[in-house]
Structure 1
Amino acid sequence: MEHGFDACVFTPVDTPSLTSTDLQTLIDAFANHRDQVVCAVSQQTPDHPEPLIAIYPVTLFDVIDRSIDEEQYSPRRLLRSLSIITIPLSAESCRNINTPSDLDSHSPQP
């Protein structure tokens, strides 16, 4: 356990429909799978893990550091080398807002 923490939660800034309930779902899954990356997947694309909507155990920080040192910056590539559990979330929760038109078509959840 590094600095008293078991894990680090990653969330991207461009997923405005990701809710606290979604994050709690990931946290609950991590409680039962503390040695694995708990990674969201969209229900529309269940074979496409979202590496930036995930919980990474601190025990993997050395692996992450090594990947960065080797200039391997792709989080998706890193995930392929790790033990992960995927948690389905709604497509809207996982939706990235990358362009003005994406933002225009975004409907905030109540």
Structure 2
Amino acid sequence: MMARHQALIRESAAFLAAEAGISWSDDDPRLARVLLHLRLAIDLIVSGKGETNPVLDRIRSEYPEEFARARRLGDYMAQRLERPVSDDEVGYLALHLLRLKNLTQ
């Protein structure tokens, strides 16, 4: 993976942490999970291959705030990668954000 993608992964993880109101250390397992997802997501975005999110409509309707925040991250990623980020992928990002928020409560 290119160095600029590594930077984007870290920036995206920091965005999710800030949106969830958490901080983490490099050995935090939550960070490891988010970094793994972001790596996979960027690979899919760059390759133009996406996965259908079977719960996308539910995520949008039940968690509109998290979806909107994840959309902002998706838009930032799209700008950096010069590739579109699908709503399906944004839905997965929203789930990560929701999970992180729930872990802090």
Higher share of residues assigned helix: 2
TM-score by length of structure 1 reads 0.36
Higher share of residues assigned strand: 1
Point out the structure with max Rg over C-alpha.
1
